[in-house]
A and B are shown apart, each in its own frame.
Chain A
Amino acid sequence: MTDPVLALDGVTKSFGPIEILHGVDFALRPGEVHALIGENGAGKSTTMKILAGYLDPTGGQVKLDGKPIGFSGSDQAEDLGVIMIHQEFNLAEHLSVDQNVFLGRELTKGWRLDHKSMRQRTADLLKRLHCKVDPGARVSGISVPDKQMVEIAKALSRKARVLIMDEPTAVLTERETEILFEQVERLRAEGVAILYTSHKLGEVKRIADRVTVLRDGTMVRSDLTADVTEDDMAAAMVGRELSDLFPPKLTGSDEPILTARNITVPGIVDDASLTLHKGEVLGIGGLVGSGRTELAEAIAGLRPRSGTVTLMDRDLPAGDVAQAMKAGLAYLTEDRKGAGLLLDKSLRENLTLPLLETFGSPLIERKREDAALDRAIEDFAIRAPARDMAVGDLSGGNQQKLLLAKTLLSNPQVVIIDEPTRGIDIGTKQQIYTLIAKLAAEGRSIIVISSEMPELIGLASRVVVMHAGRIAGELAGADVTEGGIVRLAMGMDGTSKDSAA
């Protein structure tokens, strides 16, 4: 076994009087992919930030090449080849791809910037990553997976010895994940030590050589991946055996409740139609960028569209989200932080925002708001250290539960949930799955949009798959399989009416 390049030795970390890491030690070795897993709030992010020099340990040591080191900051760590890619990207949106890759270390010719070589080097790096983005494109205009690739290109350009990735696959589809993993494998072959976190245990099993489990700031176990099963990992994370992740599926009635006909969003969604039945969980699959989210937003009145949407025999006007909500349709966004919650506001203010008028007019009754929050905290098992804290300080799982509570506040008959469990831990995932099943059992009708195949397969009795803005096909019952969804999502199904036309 090779010597570790970067190691933690009995590291503890306290914020104020509260210790949140209790003696973590593990080592990253060259040419090894190390997965760090744990529930939200288990201390993964803190551990990574200590490794990458963003935080100082309170106790214990960080060792680089066997020698104790105190990084003066992430800059020094980066100079020494320890690079972290954050979940929320560190890219300057208004600059071009190549300007981002060389940001802070621009190549110069004399006193002038050497634009040509920077563009060329960026193009080479992106080519290595099989990424088709134009180095001159503005970052604000490229897709999320492409941004991920730009971050990796940036890391590669710095000759990374240790690459730390915080949930890199959370925003990627399975195909993009494959491309990322090819790169990870290539970097591993080149002797880079890689640490990454993920909530997707299947991925961990597939790509990681070694897996370390954190729970409540303590290292629970660290094994070679070959020696543990996914169930072992899940059990170690949660501290208990996880019974079946998905509740039993219900098949809805035949009575249509929501019909969308010939929905077109110019340039994104092309003539898509679908029907949702009462009490049904309908899945929408497809790659990121296939128009899933845009279709849902068009139905919910958040985007201009053509075509008709009928909810319980009522036509919903286009582009009017308030009308859609009144009629009994609610949409839960995939962009929790950007479009779902006001991060610097309290739980109460977030919860009641869509329906403020019903909490008293002209003056809002604080007591009724507080009562609603009490109910939400109980019904959705939201764990918040303080009621008046900013929502941005809650863990991702609790944010998602609050967003669900907010979306369901209007007591909608139809709920569209876009990426119900993005970036949240397995315990919370299970809670949310149970909740979705409960909503359907109550007679509500639900559309679930997801990039995670097991989620679609586990929840939905019927799945509509989109490809390039069109409905590529529909699967029901026993036909809802990973293979079937992927074939449709990639536009490979020859029987699809689109290709026949």
Chain B
Amino acid sequence: MSTLRNMRQNLPVIAPIVALVVLILIGIALNPNFLSYANITNVLARSAFIGIIAIGMTFVITAGGLDLSVGSMAAFVAGLMILVMNLLTDSMGQGLPVILIGIALALGVGILAGFINGILITRAGIEAFILTLGTMGIYRSLVTWLADGGTLSLGYEMREMYRPVYYGGIMGISWPIIVFAALAILGEITMRHTAFGRHCAAIGSNEKVARYSSVSVTRVKLATYVLLGLLVGIAVVMYVPRLGSASATTGLLWELEAIAAVIIGGTLLKGGFGRVWGTVVGVLILSLIGNLLNLTDVVSPYLNGAIQGVVIILAVVLQRNTGTAR
């Protein structure tokens, strides 16, 4: 009896893994190419951008916040990065320094954008949903303006030079996958085993208790937004070499996919409990659904969004009535 009860209590814990395993089994059954090296690396590399952002989103949501601006922020950072790199190529010529400056710029602007979100939420006391809804519109509009309504493209030679950051790798594993995996491990350790992670959960659980326990609430909350901004920057650094361009539609709906992955992974939307490994599983589930629909013709790929929607709703239903301490 106790094992049965344990299993029922653990259902929210293991449900994302079960779902992932089921998806993989369905994939194997439907298409022999599913487990092929090419397909797996393709799925993982494409998940990496949203995955990296979702890791940061896990901390923000765990601490009781939310950030809707990340997709637009990614597009804006990418656009700015390309614009500056093209300008620098004109004055400095092609070469590694231009790429390094571009990367530094992307990370710096990401951190700054996260800082702006965070400082306005924590110091000016603006509701996270409203504020990031606002900055989402601002960044989206800024990138459209930078691209003059069209597309910003990196110069051909620079693109060739930068390409390996997405397409290259070591031992047959491409860089985005390696970076995603490393950040996921780092994120999981930070969430579970450091004071910062514990403070995030405490603040999300009850901000007043955290404050009375001498946790510096504003600093920790600000740090979650800055961290997310930095991760958006890293995602952009991996994303730009893939297509070498940015436009008004870059990163569209990434924020919702990232939030969905966090929730499917078992992090509570109202804050107080988060797990990075769950988010990674959530990201994989969402991209595998799309991949499966593309590989088979049982269900139309146009229904991708519908199936993802059902998964998100199921995840939230499973989150309810969890009684034990987390």
Interface residue ranges, A against B (CB under 8 Å): 302, 321-322, 324-325, 331, 333, 335, 338-346, 349, 353-354, 356-357, 361-364, 388-391, 393, 406
A302 to B215, CA, bound (A): 11
Chain B 196-230: CB-based contact to A (< 8 A → 1; otherwise 0): 00110110011011111111100000000000000
Given A335-B208, A342-B205, A344-B326, 20 new contacts (CB under 8 A): A302-B211, A321-B214, A339-B211, A342-B272, A343-B206, A345-B202, A345-B205, A345-B325, A345-B326, A346-B325, A353-B209, A353-B210, A354-B214, A356-B198, A357-B195, A362-B194, A362-B195, A364-B193, A364-B198, A388-B325
Q: Which B residue sits closest to A321, measured CB to CB?
A: B214
- Determine if B324 and A342 form an interchain contact, defined as CB atoms under 8 angstroms apart: no
B323 on interface, CB distance cutoff 8 Å:
yes
- Determine if A390 and B202 form an interchain contact, defined as CB atoms under 8 angstroms apart: no
B189 on interface, CB distance cutoff 8 Å:
yes
Q: Which A residue sits closest to B205, measured CB to CB?
A: A342
- Determine if B201 and A345 form an interchain contact, defined as CB atoms under 8 angstroms apart: yes
A344 to B206, CA, bound (A): 9
A28 to B255, CA, bound (A): 59
Chain B, range 174-197, C-beta contacts under 8 Å to A: 189, 193-195
Known: A356-B195, A357-B195, A364-B195. Contact between A339 and B325, CB under 8 A? no
Q: List 6 A-B contacts (CB under 8 A).
A: A335-B208, A339-B211, A345-B205, A353-B210, A356-B195, A356-B198
Question: Which of A324, A362, A393 is the most central at the interface, judged by chain B CB atoms within 10 Å of its CB?
Answer: A362
- Determine if B198 and A349 form an interchain contact, defined as CB atoms under 8 angstroms apart: yes
A470 to B45, CA, bound (A): 66
A391 to chain B, nearest CB (A): 7
Residues of B within 8 A of A345 (CB): 201-202, 205, 325-326
A357 to B198, CA, bound (A): 11
- Determine if A363 and B189 form an interchain contact, defined as CB atoms under 8 angstroms apart: yes
A352 to B323, CA, bound (A): 22
Residues of A within 8 A of B189 (CB): 363
A361 to B194, CA, bound (A): 7
- Determine if A364 and B326 form an interchain contact, defined as CB atoms under 8 angstroms apart: no
A341 to chain B, nearest CB (A): 6
- Within 8 Å by CB of B213, from A344, A389, A390, A406, lies A406
Known: A339-B212, A343-B206. Contact between A390 and B201, CB under 8 A? no
- Determine if B325 and A389 form an interchain contact, defined as CB atoms under 8 angstroms apart: yes
B201 to chain A, nearest CB (A): 7
- Within 8 Å by CB of B209, from A340, A357, A389, lies A340
Known: A302-B212, A321-B212, A389-B325. Contact between A353 and B198, CB under 8 A? yes
- Determine if B198 and A344 form an interchain contact, defined as CB atoms under 8 angstroms apart: no
- Determine if A389 and B195 form an interchain contact, defined as CB atoms under 8 angstroms apart: no
Residues of A within 8 A of B199 (CB): 356
Known: A344-B272, A356-B195. Contact between A391 and B325, CB under 8 A? yes
Q: Which B residue sits closest to A17, measured CB to CB?
A: B1
A347 to B74, CA, bound (A): 40
